Structure 1
Amino acid sequence: RIRGGQIDVHPTEKALIVNYSIEATVLDEYQNTMIGDKKDAQKM
């Protein structure tokens, strides 16, 4: 799952900075969470 975040203006370049989070979850056969991870990321 990707969740959008804040959008900022770059202080010196003519560019936008997009902040977002990536979430990954591994489920067992009963749909219970076995492993989960979340990572914050940024693109310009």
Structure 2
Amino acid sequence: MIQNPARLRRKTARLFIKEHIVTPSELDNWNTDTPVWTPYRPVQH
């Protein structure tokens, strides 16, 4: 099941922001198996 990533990201971000504001340190330590949050931090290769 493939969804539009931008649409999914926007929807998820809105829900997430409503629940909790993420700080940079939280993003740095975010679990790597939750790729939904990658737009919030620089992509690491």
Return the index of the structure with the highest Cα Rg: 1
The interval holding the TM-score normalised by the smaller chain is: under 0.3
Higher helix share goes to which structure?
A: 2
Report the TM-score when normalising by structure 1: 0.18
Higher strand share goes to which structure?
A: 1
